[in-house]
Amino acid sequence: MVFSKDSIINILSRPVNFNFVNSEINNQINNNELFSTVFKYSPIGLIIIDEEARLYKVNNYFFKYLGMPYHEVTDKRFGNMFSCSIIDGSSLVCGESLSCRQCQIRNAINEVLLYGKTIESIDIPHKFTIKTQIETKWFIISASPITFNSKKYVLMSFVDITQRKRLEDQLTILGITDELTGLYNRRYLIERCKRMISECHNTNQVMSLVIIDLDNFKYINDTYGHSVGDDVLIAFAETLRDNLRSCDLAGRFGGEEFIIALPNAPLDIANKVIRRIQNHFEQLSLLRFNKPISFSGGLIQIPSDYREALSFEEALEKADSLLYWAKNKSKGTIKSELFENR
């Protein structure tokens, strides 16, 4: 038997006992083995939404996927039916929260209902409450307008790509972080520093940049072994994470050298931050390695009124020259200067 598009929509729009709300034409569908199999074992979600943006019919994919027993969905909204984390546990109807304005599923439904658009294969995340835990699920969603009995509906399909997204995120993180310390790696560090310098220039903000070198690190490696040296680097990275703001940038530049960028931080504030990191690291290293480990640094402030966007290479050259001066003076020295207009 061959089905036309109209006959398929006609069948889809009628409830089936194993998927849909009621059983008006169960026999017609269940007697057709193809449609029975397709709907019962479909690996994707199929949802029909009415012109009031309410669920009209749903196959059993979502219930199994979210660990819920199948039950009726008549006149319910997507978020209320499937435990959207934004409204879960509240008396709000899906769409009433201010956060719902950012919901990509809701906006996709509106695009189809209000403007008759067809949406093809877009990646959309949504947060659900699953067994009291909030989980983000990713889908490839497609949606089309359909009309049946002079009424408008939205037919949406959902293909789960959560595992793929998680793998992509992991690969992205691996590509920008230093394997040992978990800080940003050299390549990404340079890229971000360049953007930050440009952004601070465009927004007329000061920015401080420091290059740090752990003192006597070769001696630590030669005397205690490279595994201890690795532990020292890990401890220092931990110190940076504990003592910097979320807007600050820290990364491993190479070996025992690190770079820190502090947006909207003048020289006096930046000096205090670096001194705090020094004290914290010396205490931590004394506790873990029975010896306080110091570091030296070259710190510059890029003024907000600098004549043009300073290049990262220029800033690094200046900070590196200050570091060289500090290392030659004495261990644990931080040399700081304002980068002057030329």
CA 295 – CA 82 distance, rounded (Å)? 54
CA 127 – CA 85 distance, rounded (Å)? 6
Tell me the two tokens of residue 319: 């900070």
Residues designated catalytic: 256
Q: Could you list the beta-strand ranges (E) of the chain.
A: 45-50, 55-58, 119-130, 133-148, 151-160, 207-214, 249-254, 257-263, 295-302, 334-338
Q: What share of the chain is helix, strand, coil (3-state, %, to 5)?
A: 45, 25, 30
Q: Could you list the beta-strand ranges (E) of 221-278.
A: 249-254, 257-263
Cα dihedral sign for 231, 237, 238, 240?
positive
Residues 276/179, Cβ–Cβ less than 8 Å: no
CA 259 – CA 89 distance, rounded (Å)? 45
**DSSP-assigned states of every residue in 21-41:** S--TTHHHHHT-HHHHHHHHH
Residue 303: exposed, middle, or buried by beta-carbon count in 10 A (0-12, 13-18, 19+)?
buried
